[in-house]
Amino acid sequence: MTERVAMMGPATTRRPVLRIEGNQADWIIDEVVTELPLTLIVNEVEVATLVTTPGDLEDLVFGFLVAEQVVPGADAIRSLDFDAEGQAVRVTADAAVEDAGARMFQRRYVTSCCGKGRASIYFESDAAALRPVAGGQKVSAQTALELLLRLQQRSDIFRRTGGVHNVALADTAGEVLAVRADIGRHNALDKLYGHCLRQNIATSNLMAVLSGRISSEILLKAAKLGLPLVLSKSAPTELALALAEDIGITVIGFARQGRLNVYTHPERITV
C-alpha cells in the first residue's frame, strides 16, 4: 500500500492570553491545542469530514473507515494520498462506497442486541456489525488503577493544553502498548483501532483506558475493536452500560484515588 505522509502542522500552537488571578492581570503566552478538518474521499466519493487533532492521521483514516464499515477491512485500503495541508485525504479502496455518505447518517432505530431481547438504540450499520465479546483475561483492580496513572504520565499534550482526550491500549498485566490523543474521544479510539489494523495487533485480551466518560458511542467503538474491557477515571452512561451488558464488555469507571466501580461483567476483575 502506498501512503503520502500528511503535512498536518503542529498539534499545538502558542498565543497571547490575558490571565487574571485575583486582582492581578498579566499577559502570558499560553499553549492551546489545534484542530484540523480532515475530509475523507474514498474512490472519489466524499464520505465525511472529521474535526481532529493533527497527528496519527493515517491511523485515524484506517480506524474510521473500517469501524464505520465504509470499507470491509484494512486489506481493502490500497493507498492514502493527503493534500499538502493535511485537510483532505484521497483513499483508493477495493470497496463500493457510493452509498457511504448516506450510511454514515442513518437514523437510529430500536432493536434487540445479540439475541438478548433487550431493546437498545443503534445505527443500523452498528447493529449489523456487533458481535458478543467473549473471553478476555482477568485484570486486578490494582493494575486497573495503575493503568490510569500510566495514561496520565503519557498524556503530554493534555498536560500542556488541557484540550485533548487520551486513550491507551493496554494489556491486563499493566503494560501500555499505545496511546493516542485527540479533541474527540471517538477519534482517539479510531486512531488506536487504525494502529491495531496496520500493525496486526490482536485485541481479544486487551483493554481501552480512557481519560473521559464512557458514552454509548465509545462503547460501540470498543466493541468493534473486540476489546473485552473498558476502563476510565470518569463515568459511564446508562446506554453504554446496557450495551456493555448485552455485548459482554466489562466496564470500569471512576478509577481514581484508590477505588473503582465495576459496572458490568465483574467476572474479569480480581481484588
- What's the pLDDT score for residue 111? 37
pTM of the model: 0.81
- What's the pLDDT score for residue 166? 86
Q: Mean pLDDT score of the chain, rounded to an integer? A: 82
Task: Look at residue 165 and tell me if it is in a domain.
Answer: yes
Task: Look at residue 11 and tell me if it is in a domain.
Answer: no
Catalytic residue among 8, 80, 89, 114: 114
Residue 114 annotated in active site: yes
Task: Look at residue 120 and tell me if it is in a domain.
Answer: no
Task: Look at residue 127 and tell me if it is in a domain.
Answer: no
- Residue 258's domain comprises 139-270
Task: Look at residue 184 and tell me if it is in a domain.
Answer: yes
Angle (CA) 229 234 236, round 5°: 60
CATH of the domain at 173: 3.40.140.10
Task: Look at residue 178 and tell me if it is in a domain.
Answer: yes
pLDDT tens digit string along 69-94? 899 899 999 999 998 766 899 999 98
Tally the domains of the chain.
1
Task: Look at residue 6 and tell me if it is in a domain.
Answer: no
Task: Look at residue 205 and tell me if it is in a domain.
Answer: yes
pLDDT mean values, one per 10 residues, the chain (271 residues): 53 83 88 84 91 90 91 92 83 74 46 40 55 81 91 71 79 91 88 93 90 88 90 92 92 90 93 87
Helices (H), the chain: 57-67, 100-104, 124-129, 141-153, 156-161, 185-199, 216-225, 238-247
